[in-house]
Amino acid sequence: MIHLPGRARPSLLRLRPALPFALALALAASAHATTYLQLTPPQMLAKADIVFVGTVSDVSVTVHGGRPWTDVSFDVTTPLEGIPVDADGNPTGPAQLSFLGGDAAGGPSLTVSGMPQFQNGERVLVFAYDQAYASPIVGFRQGLWKVTSAGVVDEDGRQLSVDANGDLVAGGSGAPLDQIVKTITKLLGSKASTP
């Protein structure tokens, strides 16, 4: 779920459709496994409602419906899809994604196996849904890429690359962030023009 400036936080009624999925993930967490369909970067991008490069600015845990949710705020530096921008193309404020699980101070605690983890100050490339899911990241955690000195890498350490055909691929020798952003912009343009 993304919370953008000017939007109210979702009511618990809006989260209700995600509760069966959240329960299934909670049960999977008790078995120490979370499964998801493996997606290619172009498949992830095609499913994404929200795409941006940003820096994690805050990580906090709140309780909704008796369950802890980790709220992660991002200072968006490069809005690519689904992020409100002003007339100059600059983001109008931070973005926030909420993830099932976490340790609420004096409240419940829930660990979801394989859930993405965030640290203040880290730079990320995000492909996300604008829906209430246990993880709003496309492919549960596959659409989260960390921008490091070694390249743009996923949670498993694979580099995001651009192949000879101009497609995004997971693996390979990697590509500079500006080349990846140009490729994403081109792919999003073709996504918008597809009927």
Residue 107's pLDDT band, with cuts at 50, 70 and 90, is: confident
Burial class (CB in 10 A: 0-12, 13-18, 19+), 40: middle
Query: Cβ distance 98 to 136 under 8 Å?
Result: yes
Closest CA to 125 of 58, 50, 70, 60: 50
Closest CA to 54 of 87, 84, 1, 95: 95
- Cα 150–Cα 36–Cα 94 angle in degrees, nearest 5: 55
Type of residue at 98: S
Mean pLDDT of the chain: 84
Q: What is the mean pLDDT of residues 175-185?
A: 96
- Predicted confidence (pLDDT) per residue in 112-166, tens digit: 999 999 999 999 999 999 998 999 999 999 999 999 998 999 988 999 999 999 9
Q: Is pLDDT above 60 for 31?
A: no
Phi, psi at residue 4, to the nearest 5°?
-115, 160
Q: Is pLDDT above 60 for 55?
A: yes
Structure token pair of residue 15: 């989260």
Closest CA to 136 of 5, 31, 4, 8: 4
Give 86-138 as a DSSP string.
Answer: -TTS-BSS-EEEEEE-EE-TTS-EE--TT-----TT-EEEEEE-SS--S--BT
Q: What is the mean pLDDT of residues 41-61?
A: 97
Residue 23's pLDDT band, with cuts at 50, 70 and 90, is: very low
Report the 10 Å Cβ neighbour count for 150.
10
Closest CA to 161 of 170, 142, 153: 170
Domain locations in the chain as residue ranges:
2-193
Q: Check: pTM over 0.85? Answer yes or no.
A: no
